Amino acid sequence: MTVLSAERPERDEAPHDPAREREAGDAGRDDALPPTYDAAATEGAIYARWQAAGIDTAHASRSERDGGGRVPFTVLMPPPNVTAVLHVGHALNDTVQDVLARWRRMAGDEALWLPGTDHAGIATQNVVEKKIAREEGLSRYEVGREAFVERTAAFVRETGGQILDQLKAIGASADWSRTAYTLSPELSRAVREAFVRLYERGLVYKGHRVIHWCPRCMTSLSDEEAEFKDTPGRLFHLRYAVSDDPARALVVATTRPETLFGDVAVAVHPDDERYADLVGRTVRLPLVGVDIPVIADAYVDRDFGTGALKITPAHDPNDFEVGRRHGLAAPIVIDAAGFVREVTDAAGRVPAAFDGLERFEARARAVEARAAEGTLVRAEPHQHAVRHCYRCDTVVEPRLSDQWFVRMAPLAEPALAAVRDGTVRILPERWEAVYLRWMENIRDWNISRQLWWGHRIPVWYDDATGETFVSRDDLTQSPTTGNRLRQDEDVLDTWFSSWLWPVSTLGWPDADAPDLRAFYPTDVLVTAPEILFFWVARMIMAGYAFGGGAPFHTVYLHGTVRDTQHRKMSKSLGNGIDPLEVVARYGADALRWTSVAGLGMGADVILDPDDLEKSFAPGRNFCTKLWNIGRFLLQNVGSAPVLALEHVAPERLTHADRWVLARLDAAVRDCDAALGPARPPRDGTGAPRWPEAERTAGLRLNEYAEAARRFVWSELADWYLESTKARLAVGGTDDCEVARAVLAHAFDGALRLLHPIVPFITEALWHRLPSSPRGALLAGEAWPAPRGWTPASDVAGPFDVARACVEAVRQIRSDYAVPPGRRVDVYVQPTDAPADGELAAIVGALARADVHLVDGDALPFDRQLAAQQIVRGATVFVPLVGLVDVAKEREKLTKELAGLEKQLAALRGRLANAGFVDRAPAAVVEAERAKERTWADRAVQLAQSIAALARGS
């Protein structure tokens, strides 16, 4: 299908078909597991099976809001521009969304991840204009509006969905049957409806004021689209001679001397005694030779520059307000392309020498001319914030213009309250204050753009009568006079369509649309902080204005992908990473794991574009390890059917079995806590609202990744699997079958936990588990739930004691340089539990030791001639006589003790110094005291070991 089709494709609303899913799963089943994981040969086939099974398709009829039995969970994809190509920022953003969608789908929710694209007015028009100019040498004006729009639409139809196809390569499980497009007929209808409704409420109006203008894009911009950037410039001090006393002058300070041709006054503060006698008089405007008044206005900052400001109402928004208060003219002297000209009400103001100069060239010429006539007092370096176009980075030109605006203050009120009362939470929480501050000081939104590509403003004019008509339907004739009407030339700001995204994509303005009824409000919005105001805040306002409430309950603002110099990755800097190259080299799962595992709450992700091997090593290494664990485990489990765990009597389980099942329970709880809660609880009124204690809970994706990794890697593979090798080797026994059942169950749980992050490799491994139903797909299976195996947290279970003993023996081996292959005698004296044969077997197998269990205090050797470690639940002894070179070991420990005593003496001297103890922070002093205690204990231990070795030599 084409993602930009005019008609939304029909969707199969039937429930999941198990036979269909089994068929899709069986299509790629191959029980032979290769020695290495081949992502390139695996991922495409697995994705095709998911698609064939309809795993990612949501059904309104199954949502409890539409009479079904499932809780809806909705995530809306921030629509990428139709001109965009997948970059690493997209990959991060969409991976996070995919993790959430897969998690909730497995958890039993009716999960909808709705994708789509944005028509991107400025960006797309620029691309097509450049293409036509490059290939045909024509401007859009020569092509004509209608033909240009059609050619742009054709370009979008051809290339606009590429980024969505690329998202499939990283495993995005979006419901592609619902792919939306902001310029589709359905969403265009919603845009027009929103405009008309706001106009009818008096919230849309046409205003004559100074706006931000991009001379490159040739359109107005909103406040948010004109971004401030610190820019080096110069502050020019210019003399304006008093008209009736040329020997006297006012000196003004300005950064923009090229606008002097539009000056209509010089303003001073009403309380500034320096200029009190000049208020009401006039000064001569240099280079132009006209007299302009000196006015008093409280806007003037007496402490900036000279305390006198030139007032140019048509080219500065603050000057415009001053001009309105004083009834001043507003001559426009810079045209739309950024050239100095007499545009409006400026006759006779622009000297011939300046007419047609580009604005920055005019600035330099004006300074030269002022210097030549002696009215330039001085110029000094000045760093200041200058607005730039967010699309092309051109310096924005303030310009007087007629534009359409939305009154934002009334719309902001419920959106402010929603964040304050917990209806909507913003994560990380530091962004909440930024949101509130912006909303409390919100300004009206300039929504008209001087473009051809976009939603044309639904306003028509009767030029004969001056009447204006706003309509949901296209008009050609005046409904009152029958005169031919002219539609407004401008289009709406692209963000005016995307602020409706949560409602328009679900069927609004049809109040009874099935998707709107079933899936609105949505749940989590995942996006970047830089569009908090462009998009997020406006969507919340639109949700209350049109959807009847907040459009989502959680805003998750993830960090930014940066290079090793902490610069944001961008095409202009040449420091970007192509995610598809990463997928081709290491696989989609390696890309996803690296992104998620390093994604602390609000933390940036640092990658090296010059070293992909290093950047994505965490993901590549994890996938390699997981595959190796899977191969080893599956080889030990075998392919024969395994017992279902519920059919295994509890008394048949060993300590190791119970331990790994308890650790799986703990991992599930840790993953649930890191990810959730999935939605807010309902307050006393029945409204969903985040209580203060849960405002920051969940969405700790790196913690979720670590909890799942720790279980499969450190606990299942490193401990349980190693401990059960002997049981698995004796095939056909009852003990072997129990071990196989537990191992299969534990690995099944691990793969389910990991699946949302690394879906391809987990699907490939799970598919081969003998416990997996033939033909099923992991993507459609249930999220694991704790089964009550976890022992009391304050009691060390027998397997925990065995693990501690193994680690103690390994540490002793390391301390005394005992070769890994040499068997050692180990004596274990349990303290919290009676001696246990299973404990001895585990320690013997994993520590390469002959284990002797000691019941009571009697030991068959001199305990002073043994290395000893006290662990939780036991004391471990390893006799040293005959195991190590006693004399050499004594010499080594003696040297270590001497060095430690020297360090201890220095540390104790520092702690005995009252000056240090009194002046240093309490935490530092306490840390030093703790260090002294640790070193003292080690010194005693070393002395005892030396004495023991002396007796044994």
Instruction: Give 498-514 pLDDT, tens digit per residue.
Output: 999 999 999 999 989 99
Mean pLDDT of 849-860: 85
Mean pLDDT over 294-301 rounds to 94
Burial class (CB in 10 A: 0-12, 13-18, 19+), 824: buried
User: pLDDT value at position 32?
Assistant: 64
For residue 529, the model assigns a pLDDT of 92
User: Are 95 and 167 a contacting pair, CB within 8 Å?
Assistant: no
Q: What pLDDT digit, counting tens, does each position of 586-601 carry?
A: 999 999 999 999 898 8
Q: Of 496, 482, 574, which Cα lies nearest the Cα of 539?
A: 496
What pLDDT is attached to residue 304?
83
Confidence of residue 657 (pLDDT cuts 50, 70, 90): very high
Confidence of residue 13 (pLDDT cuts 50, 70, 90): very low
Alpha-carbon distance 180 to 183, whole Å? 9
Distance CA 638, CA 641 (A): 9
Structure tokens at 333: 């002297």
Of all residues in the chain, the percent with pLDDT exceeding 90 is: 64
Quote the pLDDT of residue 774: 86
Q: Which residue has the higher pLDDT, 21 or 691?
A: 691
Between the CA of residue 364 and those of 214, 354, 377, 466, what are the distances in Å? 21, 11, 15, 43
Residue 874's CB is within 10 A of a number of other CB atoms, namely: 25
Closest of 568, 713, 532 to residue 628, by C-alpha: 713
* Percent of the residues in the chain that have a pLDDT greater than 70, as a whole number: 95
Rounded-to-integer distance, Cα 282 and Cα 291, Å: 6
Whether the CB-CB separation of 551 and 543 falls below 8 Å is answered with: yes
| Residue-wise DSSP of 689-751 | ---GGGTT-S--HHHHHHHHHIIIIIIIIIIIIHHTHHHHHSTTSHHHHHHHHHHHHHHHHHH
Buried b (16+ CB within 10 A) or exposed e, 802-814: bbbbbebbbebbe
Q: Does the structure show a pLDDT above 70 at 265?
A: yes
Look at the alpha carbons of 301, 302, 305, 310 in this order and tell me if their dihedral is positive or negative: positive
Provide the 10 A C-beta neighbour count for residue 302.
15
> Rounded distance, CA 117 to CA 112, Å?
16
Position with higher pLDDT, 439 vs 84: 439
Report the pLDDT value the prediction gives residue 196, as an integer from 0 to 100.
Answer: 97
Q: Which two tokens stand for residue 462?
A: 């009767």
Least confident of 110-124, 585-599, 775-789, 851-865: 851-865
User: Which pLDDT score is estimated for 943?
Assistant: 85
9 confidence band (pLDDT: 50, 70, 90): very low
Non-local (6+) Cβ contacts of 717 within 8 A are 629, 632, 633
**In the structure, what pLDDT confidence band is assigned to residue 27 with cuts at 50, 70 and 90?**
very low
3-state helix, strand, coil in the chain (%, to 5): 45, 20, 35
What mean pLDDT comes out for the span 280-306? Answer: 91
Rg (alpha carbons) of the chain, rounded to whole number: 37
Give mean pLDDT, residues 115-120. 95
The answer to whether the beta carbons of residues 358 and 341 sit under 8 Å apart is no
8 A C-beta contact, residue 903 and residue 896 = no
Band of pLDDT at residue 44, cut at 50, 70 and 90 = very high
Q: How sure is the predictor about 834, in pLDDT bands with cuts at 50, 70 and 90? A: low
- Residue for token digits 């040739």? 218
Q: What confidence tens digit (pLDDT) does each residue in 803-828 have?
A: 989 999 998 888 888 888 889 999 99
Residue 685 has pLDDT above 70, yes or no: yes
Q: Which residue did the predictor score with more confidence, 741 or 882?
A: 741
Output the pLDDT for position 953.
Answer: 60
Residue located via tokens 């009391």: 792
Tens-digit pLDDT profile for residues 325-337: 999 999 999 998 8
Cβ neighbours around 112 below 10 Å, total: 28
Mean pLDDT score of the chain: 90
Residue 10 has pLDDT above 50, yes or no: no
Q: Which residues of 350-365 are buried (b: 16+ CB within 10 A; e: fewer)?
A: beeebeebebeebbeb
Separation in Å, CA 352 to CA 261, 341, 648: 12, 9, 97
List phi, psi (to 5°) of 554. -140, 135
pLDDT band per the 50, 70, 90 thresholds, residue 952 = low
Instruction: Give the pLDDT confidence of 340-385 residue by residue, as tens digits.
Output: 999 888 888 999 999 999 999 999 999 999 899 888 999 989 888 8
Closest CA to 149 of 169, 174, 182, 124: 124
pLDDT at 7 over 70: no
At 449-471, the pLDDT tens digits run 999 999 999 999 999 999 999 99
Asked if the bond preceding 691 is cis, omega within 30° of 0, the reply is no
pLDDT digit string, tens, across residues 150-183: 999 999 998 888 999 999 999 999 999 999 999 9
Whole-angstrom distance, CA of residue 326 vs CA of residue 323: 5
Q: Which of 486-490, 757-761, 912-916 has the lowest mean pLDDT?
A: 912-916
What pLDDT is stored for residue 150 in this prediction?
A: 95
CB 723 within 8 A of CB 656: yes
Q: Is the pLDDT of residue 31 over 70?
A: no
| Residue 835 pLDDT class (50, 70, 90 cuts) | low
Q: What is the pLDDT of residues 46-63, one digit of tens each?
A: 999 999 999 999 999 999
CA–CA gap between residue 381 and residue 306 (Å, rounded)? 16
- From the list 191, 199, 190, the residue with the least C-alpha distance to 407 is 199
Burial code of 375-399, b = ≥16 C-beta within 10 A, e = fewer?
A: bbbebeeeeeebbbbbbeeebbbbb
Tokens of 464: 């004969």
Which of 16-30, 428-442, 461-475 has the weakest average pLDDT? 16-30
pLDDT band at residue 796 using 50, 70 and 90 as cut-offs: low
pLDDT at residue 865 tops 90: no
